[in-house]
Every structure is written in C-alpha cells, then in structure tokens.
Amino acid sequence: MFKTWEELEESIKNCNRCKLWKTRRNIVFGTGNKNARLMFIGEGPGADEDRLGIPFVGRAGKLMDLAFETLGIDRSEVYIANIVKCRPPSNRNPENDEAMACLNYLRNQVILVKPEIIVLLGSVALKNILGKEYGITDSRGKWVEKKGIKYMPTWHPAALLRDETKKVDFIKDLKKVVELITSTKSENKDEKR
C-alpha cells in the first residue's frame, strides 16, 4: 500500500512485473481529479496514450470526451485510469498475468481517490474488478455495489468505434451515472443545511 501519489507513481515508473514494461514508451498512470467522486477504468493504453502518458487521448478518448460534453461531465472533475499502465502490443487486450501484475497499483489509486462511483469501460475492466463471472453484454447498464462503491459497467469507447449501435447504450449508461451523482450531490447539500 502506497500512502502518497508520488510513491505510487514512482513505483509504477520502475515496474518490471510483467513483459509490457519492455515495449512501453511511457507509463500511463492516470489523470484527473485525485479526489473525484467519479472514476473511470479502462483496459489499457493505446498508441497515443503510450506516446503521451495520458489515458484516453486517442480516438476512443475523443469519443468519450464527446459523451462527457453531451452529458455535462467535466473531465477535469473525474479520475481516469486503466487496468494496466503499459501498452499491450498492437492494442491487444491485457493478458491475465499482465493485469494481475498491475491490479495492486489500480487498487491503490482507488484507495487514494476514494470514488463513490466507478464506471467500468468494457469487459477487461469488468472482469478484473468485479470478477470473471461477469460478462459485459449482460452486465452493462446495471448497477453493482461492492464495499461501498457503486459500479456501472458499460461498453469501452473503442467498441463504439467498431459498432456505432452501442453508442445509444453507452450514453444511457452514463446518464444513469450523471443522475446518481446529481441526486447524491443534492442530498449532501440538504444534509449540510
């Protein structure tokens, strides 16, 4: 367990727990508000992310930004991370040993952020966070609560690039997230009065 963001990031920069470190240009640590109520978790960095060291800046990230804009989500107010911090070759899914090598880093990020809601982007994030028994097709759009955190599984934005019909579900799922965040904000304001 790392007590500070600096310790955690330094550890990831020096990580060689799996083979992905050999081909990375940059680690893709995470970005956004480190005290966010809302966190997004994807699977792993692509080429643009590896080049810049920032998650979701490529084509899928641009699509996510558009969805954020449509729904009034301020990217600077959420925290965004991935299951693995180094790019899998050819943008393939992270292999099980690669995900396992990185999951403690992600757990530390969740502990440090303390989000109320986590959006799981795609099957890789869903299975690594909630369990192998979950499937994205059956789980997307349905709330799951574990250890005081509400999870919303949905399509990974890259899936929307391959199948535009999934955009409607993606927006519906994120609307549920916005509705919950908005309702709990007003409840918190009422409690403070």
149-154: strand order across its sheet:
31-32, 79-82, 38-42, 117-121, 149-154, 144-146
Proportion of the chain above pLDDT 70, given as a percent:
96
* DSSP string over 26-82: S----EE-TT-SEEEEES---HHHHHHT-SS-SHHHHHHHHHHHHHT--GGGSEEEE
Mean pLDDT calculated for residue range 30-42:
97
pLDDT tens per residue, range 61-80: 999 999 999 999 999 999 99
Mean pLDDT of 151-155: 98
pLDDT at 184: 82
CATH code that applies to domain 5-188: 3.40.470.10
pTM of this prediction?
A: 0.94
Token couple for 109: 């990020």
**Cα dihedral value 103, 108, 110, 113, nearest 10:** -150
Calculate ∠ Cα 120-129-8, nearest 5°. 95
Tens of pLDDT, residue by residue over 65-120, are: 999 999 999 999 999 999 999 999 998 999 999 999 999 999 999 999 999 999 99
